[in-house]
Chains A and B, each alone.
Chain A
Amino acid sequence: MLRILSFMIVLLALALPGRAQARDITIDLTDPIVSITTGFTGTDLLLYGAVKQAGDLVVVIRGPARDEVVRRKEKVLGIWVNRDELVFDKVPSYYRIASNRPLNEFMNPTDADRLQIGLDNLDLRAKVSGKLLPEAPYEFREGLIRNLQRIGLYMTKPDNVVFLSEQLFRTRLRFPANVSVGTFTIEVYLFRDNKLQSTATTLLTVRKFGVEAQVYDLAHRYSLAYGVLAVIIAVVAGWAANAAFRKG
């Protein structure tokens, strides 16, 4: 209901040009919060909005940053063992883009590189003992991206932005079950005549909710108490099982 309502408001804003602010891009999400509950299997959100003048759109979604270690296996005495490793600094834990037509048709490579649009343009920096390397070894970088793609956190191909009219657009954002908690940024770039015209940004919060959140929170903040609790639960369960056995 709320979704439809907010969608209507945007429509209304468009219909009343006098009221609408003179912004090039207006965007909104059907829900600014994704709640991960125990039964969470991923969710879809709708990003919708309007542009003042027709153009081409790119939507870039990034998840909260993580340091990720990438390890390469080698065969040692017949079994596969992790050998070389490299730590990547502040890697977006989620990365997807969407556009209304293929990027190379309206965006020049310099812009794509500067705005880090597309997996090849992602600025992934490796660090060795706290210092950033100028360039990360190619196969480690590819290994990192490939692993994130395999678990569905990085895109394999861009999604579609659909224009409903010259001004009105929407795109579906997919968040898988293993999505990280934290703040996601959603950037929308408007191109006209192969040039960047304007941008809009909005934030999305992914958080754990309910039992899921409480358990996670307890385990990380009061980990000792959590361990004791786990033991108490186990003792009670074991005793209960024994009691049930005797009766049966």
Chain B
Amino acid sequence: MPIAEMSVNVPLILAVGAGVGLLSGLFGVGGGFLMTPLLFFIGIPSAVAVATGASLIVAASISGVLAHWKRGNVDFRMGSFLLVGGVFGSSLGVWLFTVLREQGHIDLVIRVSYVVFLAIIGGLMLVESARSMMRRKKNQSRRSHIHTWLHGLPFKVRFRRSRLYISALPPLAVGLFVGLLAGIMGVGGGFVMVPAMIYVLGMPTAVVVGTSLFQIIFVSANVTILQSATNQTVDILLALILLFGGVLGAQLGARIGAKMQGEQLRGLLALIVLGVCVKLTYDLVLPPADLFSIAEVARY
């Protein structure tokens, strides 16, 4: 690989792409939060894994957003506010990434971030899928709209497609936070943004996925370009191989997914996420084989 500066096993990379593609087709998730840790496990440097992951998310989101756009499920106005926050957040994230890289802490920060987020997401999904399996039997109703202090904020904007009249500040803040994650972790951030849009902003579920994908395309594109310009860590060749595997995997995943039940699927995904989280934690806690590590700082 030209940028990762290592020789990789092409079938293995294809398999990783296909595996993550399979999961994303199966569960309808972007898969960035699984792709990047898997790249760590096969020995791709963290910095390259994150930056290359961002370019993959652009491709995955484009292919997803087209479908949602046709059905009119993209709130462009809301997307734009999320995007403004996202561009600032992701630029900040890449800057932070560069500083941490120079200080030698980037590997640790990326991995700890993954452990924290995977633990939260995996845990929540497991609880949620267990609950909904029970709820199916009881058939409870849920409150549709909750009024909180967020609705008292200034700069109110009308979001027609989302049928909301809320302050512009929460969407900007959500975008900023998700952008920050995208810059440091190389994820799209859909797994944080989607729940935030539903529970914090109160958006209708139908437009949430399309709108988040819309934002993710541009934020990930921003991350890809900035990572490339400052750290030179985007490996196009690696991305292409992963992408090819990913497309095949996603096709297969979508077909299998159509035959399975939603709660079971989510429960399964939760277990996979927690599994990856446990492995990452184990690697952080385990005494390293060598306490000393090296990194090249200048060439002559």
Which chain A residues have a beta carbon within 8 Å of chain B's beta carbons? 38-41, 64-75, 78-82, 85, 87, 90, 93, 139-140, 142-144, 146-148, 150, 177-178, 182, 208, 211-213, 215-216, 219-220, 223-224, 226-231, 233-235, 237-239, 241-242, 244-245, 248
Bound CA–CA A67/B60 (angstroms)? 39
Is A242's CB under 8 angstroms from B292's CB? no
Interface hub of A142, A148, A224 (most chain B Cβ within 10 A): A224
Bound CA–CA A82/B107 (angstroms)? 10
Is A234's CB under 8 angstroms from B228's CB? no
Contacts of A147 in B (CB 8 A): 290, 292-294
Within 8 A of A (CB), among B258-297: 284-285, 287-288, 290-297
Known: A147-B294, A227-B229. A82 touches B105 (CB 8 A): yes
Q: What are some 29 contacts across the A-B interface (CB < 8 A)?
A: A66-B297, A66-B298, A71-B104, A72-B292, A73-B288, A74-B291, A79-B285, A80-B284, A80-B285, A80-B288, A85-B104, A144-B292, A144-B294, A147-B290, A177-B7, A212-B2, A215-B236, A216-B2, A224-B228, A230-B228, A230-B239, A231-B224, A234-B55, A234-B58, A238-B60, A238-B61, A241-B63, A241-B247, A244-B251
Known: A68-B296, A146-B292. A242 touches B66 (CB 8 A): yes
Is A143's CB under 8 angstroms from B2's CB? no
Contacts of B60 in A (CB 8 A): 238
Size class of the contact patch on chain B? 35 or more
Known: A147-B294, A241-B250. 6 other contacts (CB 8 A): A144-B292, A215-B2, A223-B229, A227-B234, A235-B62, A238-B61
Bound CA–CA A235/B65 (angstroms)? 11
Contacts of B295 in A (CB 8 A): 68-69, 71
Name the 8 nearest CB pairs between A and B, nearest first: A143-B292, A227-B228, A238-B62, A227-B225, A238-B59, A234-B58, A67-B298, A215-B2
Interface hub of B63, B226, B227, B239 (most chain A Cβ within 10 A): B63
Contact with A along B41-70 (1 / 0, CB 8 A): 000000000000001101111111011000
Bound CA–CA A228/B222 (angstroms)? 9
Contacts of B6 in A (CB 8 A): 177-178
Contacts of B290 in A (CB 8 A): 143, 146-147, 150
Which chain B residues have a beta carbon within 8 Å of chain A's beta carbons? 2-3, 5-7, 55-56, 58-64, 66-67, 104-105, 108, 112, 221, 224-230, 232, 234, 236-237, 239-240, 243, 247, 250-251, 254, 284-285, 287-288, 290-300
Pick the contact of A238: B63, B228, B234, B240 (CB < 8 A).
B63
Contacts of A248 in B (CB 8 A): 251
Contacts of A74 in B (CB 8 A): 291
Bound CA–CA A242/B62 (angstroms)? 8
CB-nearest residue of chain B relative to A215?
A: B2
Is A219's CB under 8 angstroms from B292's CB? no
Q: Interface majority SS on B: helix, strand, loop or mixed? A: helix
Known: A69-B295, A241-B250. A233 touches B240 (CB 8 A): yes
Contacts of B237 in A (CB 8 A): 38, 211, 215
Contacts of B67 in A (CB 8 A): 242
Is A233's CB under 8 angstroms from B239's CB? yes
CB-nearest residue of chain A relative to B222?
A: A231
Is A230's CB under 8 angstroms from B55's CB? yes
Contacts of B62 in A (CB 8 A): 234-235, 238-239, 242
Interface hub of A79, A139, A142, A234 (most chain B Cβ within 10 A): A234
Known: A230-B224, A230-B228, A242-B63. A73 touches B294 (CB 8 A): no
Is B284's CB under 8 angstroms from A230's CB? no
Contacts of B234 in A (CB 8 A): 219, 226-227, 230
Instruction: Kindly provide the distance from the CB of A248 to the nearest chain B CB, expressed in whole angstroms.
Output: 6
Is A208's CB under 8 angstroms from B2's CB? yes
Is B232's CB under 8 angstroms from A241's CB? no
Contacts of A228 in B (CB 8 A): 225
Contacts of A87 in B (CB 8 A): 297
Bound CA–CA A74/B293 (angstroms)? 12
Contacts of A75 in B (CB 8 A): 287
Is A40's CB under 8 angstroms from B7's CB? yes
CB-nearest residue of chain B relative to A68?
A: B294
Bound CA–CA A139/B2 (angstroms)? 33
Pick the contact of B3: A69, A182, A216 (CB < 8 A).
A216
Contacts of B251 in A (CB 8 A): 244-245, 248
Contacts of A245 in B (CB 8 A): 63, 250-251, 254
Contacts of B230 in A (CB 8 A): 223
